[in-house]
Each structure stands twice: as C-alpha cells, then as structure tokens.
Amino acid sequence: MINIAIDGPTGSGKGALADGLAEKFNFIHLDTGAIFRGFAYGILNSGYSDPTKEEIEKILPSLNLKVKFEEGKQKIILNNDDITKWLRAEQISKLSSKISVYPIIREKFLEIVQEFASCNNCIIDGRDITSVVLPNADYKLFLMASEEVRAKRRYEENLSKNISCTYEEVLANLKERDYRDSHREIAPLKVVSDATVVDNSELSIKQTVDLCYNLIVEKLKNKGEK
C-alpha cells in the first residue's frame, strides 16, 4: 500500500489538497479530523460541552464510531447514525481539538486510522500524521499559510455553509487552536525532518495540488513505486 501523509495547522487547506491528490492518484482520502469531530459530537450530545478526562472515559465506551465510504464520499457513523453534516460547526471544531489530547481518544483514533492505512492506498491529513500516525508514510507534506489567510478561508467556508460567525471570532479561535495543537503534551503539531514544507498563502487550491502532485510523483519514481 502507498500512504501519503499531510500535516498542517487549521485552515491551511489540508483537506482540499488531500481531495485533489486523491483524485489525481485515484487513492482514498481519509479525513482524520472528522474522526475527532465525530467523538466531539458524541460527547457534546451526551451533555458535556467542556468534559473532564474522567467524563470522557465514562462516555467513550458508549460511542460506536465508524468510517464509511459511499460513492467516494467519507461518512462518519456514530451509533448507526450518519452525523457527517453536523461536524463543521465551530463548537464541534473547538471541542475536537480539546479532546484530541486525551490518551483514550487517541488510542481509538489510532486504531481506526492505522487499520485503514494498512489496507488502502490512501492520503491522510491531520496534525500528527507524519510524526505519529504514519511515521513510515511513503511521502510526507507539511502545508502552511499565514494566520490571516487561513482565518479568511475558514470564515468564507462557514458562511457558505450558513454557519453564523465573524471573521474576528474565527481568527481568535484559529490562534487558540494553533497554540494548543503545537503545545499539547501528546503528539503536538510539528514539522518532521523528512516532510516537505509547502506554504500556500498565495497559491490557489489547484496550484497547491499540482505542485504537491509533481513533488510526490518524483519521489515515488525514485522509489520505483510510480
């Protein structure tokens, strides 16, 4: 199996890049952030907006989370219900980042992702994919952009989905998540030594995809895999 790992801060365009590369390579794109969001949704719907470690440990056994692909689209199924369309709300985003530091959440997450990667040619994006989840991936990318550019992207995405917010709120939340993700004790966001760093602040999605596709093809050719 060929695995491509993509890391980067929130709003950098990891998901769009992974989608574009998946189409070009005809690989599956597994959105790992959606897994954390799925757990966050379940915890929030259990009545906990700011859960403690003990509360998460109590709730988690009752959350049966699965990843399914239907017609090429990823779906998150929680206790037999498709919750995919609810996962981009700001409250879910904030909670998913907070709970991702807990070992019990990460244990479940790693089990889901590593099993998937062992059976599929796939592209996986997140915040610790290159460093922890797939340390032996065939190609590693770290995608970045300025805070202002990333906040603008996320703000416009929210508006397109009728999610009520202001640019200032999105920027503040982004800065908070950046700090938390890069300073968390377990699996912090970081650039690993063998990852290719791409700054797409001034690149379109298409330009970003084309650039990264060419970089990956060249690497895989050298490895004799493409």
Domain ranges of the chain: 3-217
8-state DSSP, 26: T
CA distance linking residue 111 with residue 115, whole number of Å: 6
The answer to which of 70-74, 154-158, 174-178, 194-198 has the lowest mean pLDDT is 70-74
Note the pLDDT of residue 60: 94
Architecture of domain 3-217: 3-Layer(aba) Sandwich (3.40)
Query: Among candidates 139, 132, 169, which has minimal Cα distance to 154?
Result: 169
Note the pLDDT of residue 72: 82
- The model's pLDDT over 210-226, given as tens digits with 9 standing for 90+, comes to 999 999 999 888 776 54
Note the pLDDT of residue 126: 86
Region 11-26: mean pLDDT is 94
Choice between 33 and 40, residue whose per-residue pLDDT is larger: 40
Query: Among candidates 32, 4, 187, 18, which has minimal Cα distance to 109?
Result: 32
Residue 134 has pLDDT above 80, yes or no: yes
Note the pLDDT of residue 224: 63
CB atoms within 10 A of CB 135: 13
The answer to which of 12-16, 51-55, 182-186 has the lowest mean pLDDT is 182-186
CA distance linking residue 70 with residue 82, whole number of Å: 12
Region 158-177: mean pLDDT is 92
* Radius of gyration for the alpha carbons in the chain, expressed in angstroms and rounded: 17
Note the pLDDT of residue 226: 45
- The model's pLDDT over 46-82, given as tens digits with 9 standing for 90+, comes to 999 999 999 999 999 999 999 988 888 899 999 999 9
CA–CA distance from 129 to each of 60, 103, 114, 151, 181 (Å)?
A: 23, 16, 10, 22, 13
Residue 190 has pLDDT above 90, yes or no: yes
Note the pLDDT of residue 217: 94
Percent of the chain with pLDDT over 90: 73
Residue 165 has pLDDT above 80, yes or no: yes
Please indicate, yes or no, whether the overall pTM of this predicted structure exceeds 0.95: no
Region 141-166: mean pLDDT is 93
CA distance linking residue 30 with residue 117, whole number of Å: 9
Query: What is the 3-state secondary structure of 80-137?
Result: CEECHHHCCCHHHHHHHHHHCCCHHHHHHHHHHHHHHHHHCCEEEEECCHHHHHCCCC
Residue 96 has pLDDT above 60, yes or no: yes
Tell me the average pLDDT of the chain. 92
